[in-house]
Amino acid sequence: MHVILSAIILLGAILNLVIGTGFLVNPATAGADFGLAVTSVHGSSTLRGDMTAFFYITALSMGWGAWRRRGDVLLAALGLYGIAFTGRAINLASEGTYAGWMMPMAVEGITVIVLLVAIRSWGWPKPSA
């Protein structure tokens, strides 16, 4: 169970690293995949900085947490994905659906569930005596 959970989270970390690198290297193309359009240098700077940070911090948290099997390290990724899912749910309730809305919410929801299971399974590091 722990090995499978670690593998799933490490795959998620790799996916986040790839997506974050896409925003770092080519923010306009990566942004278009998320329904965002770059209309100025300010826009590309924002995508390059903010979206790369989101995905890199998530990748780091998931990768390190899965490698060490430490639930506390997964809290950063859980917080980021939990807030992203909540924001999408609020948008869904207030503005309705759009083409392709289910896939990102499914990915975020599944990620939150997997991270919660891992945190519950691995717990917190035990204090050293």
pLDDT at 129 over 70: no
- For the chain, the structural domain boundaries read 2-122
Burial of 59 (0-12, 13-18, 19+ CB in 10 A): buried
- Rounded CA separation 23/14 (Å): 14
The model carries a pTM of: 0.91
Q: What is the structure's pLDDT at 1? A: 82
CA 104 to chain centre: 10
Q: What percent of the chain has pLDDT over 70?
A: 96
pLDDT at 7 over 90: yes
123 confidence band (pLDDT: 50, 70, 90): confident
